[in-house]
Structure 1
């Protein structure tokens, strides 16, 4: 089975994440997309994050009606900060029957050369890149690499940071979240 790994803090997961993941599950050779909830990204500060299990719960609620989309807490028991190469090594050992690919936004591809062991990732895994409107250019070695597959997915200009800020400001962001995620956020009074 070919699994697409969509890494993120998902703080919170929103309709943009779901749209991209579902598009890839429907329009690529991936059988499933796993939302890998990252406890701590090496590029983010921990202070703004909800608890790991609360974010996992949101991903679970967002994906439960999509059979090809799955939540994953695989990084919760791995050493922090979470490096993609370490997670991939662990997944390959644990699920040797699966083939793993990465899913990332074009903006992340621009900083891919800063990732720990990025050459090893590229050597062993396809990377599916969805479009994002951002500044700067992708390095030429990545823009034409055979393992990097550009996906014609919808461009979603929606971010978790924007959603958190809107909630804090008391604005209605309900259409930007899956219904079950909105219910959970509202019930728990998150980000207020």
Structure 2
């Protein structure tokens, strides 16, 4: 099976993430997208990060009964911080029947040379890049690359967390079940 790995903090998961995941399974040969919840991103500050199990639960609520998108906690079992190459090495050993691709925005793709073992990632794995405004793809580093014009929503997890802190609504920015769970547990207050 062709699996697209969409890595992120998902702090919290929002409609923009789900639109991209859905677009990838609809417009490419990817049969399933795994939303890989990263316990700790080496490029991000861990402060303000909701507990990884709570974030995973929110992702599961968001995808509900969608069979082509699933949540993955694979990085919870691996050393921290999480490095993509380590996760892919583990997944390739555990699921030799699957072919893995990396899904990311053009903003993150620009930082690819800074990643741990970037040369190995480039050599071994295909990339599916969705364009983000203001982040043109000017260098491909000879990657196996597919570029998508995915529908973009200019929303971010930071905006959502700030709205919650300020007592503003996040309705329509996150799925209703996610919003209800955030409100019930007073997350991000």
Q: Which residue of 1 aligns with 2:164?
A: 167
> For structure 1, which segment, 145-154 or 71-80, has the greater mean C-alpha deviation from structure 2 after superposition?
145-154
* Distance (Å, rounded) in 2 between the aligned partners of 1:50 and 1:134: 29
Any conservation in 2 of the 1:37–1:73 contact (CA below 8 Å)?
yes
Pairing 1:43-58 to 2, within 5 Å after superposition = 43-58=43-58
1:78 equivalenced with 2:78 (yes/no): yes
> Alignment length, in residue pairs?
189
Deviations 1:121-142 (A, max 9, x none): 111111000011235x544244
TM-score, normalised to structure 1, is: 0.95
State the shift of 1:146 in Å: 5.3
- For structure 1, list consecutive stretches of 5 or more residues without a partner in the other structure: none
* Distance (Å, rounded) in 1 between the aligned partners of 2:97 and 2:145: 22
Runs in 1 of length 4+ with deviation above 3 angstroms?
none
Q: Which residue of 2 aligns with 1:158?
A: 155
C-alpha RMSD of the superposition: 1.2
TM-score, normalised to structure 2, is: 0.96
Any conservation in 2 of the 1:132–1:156 contact (CA below 8 Å)?
no
Q: Which has the higher helix share?
A: 1
- For structure 2, list consecutive stretches of 5 or more residues without a partner in the other structure: none
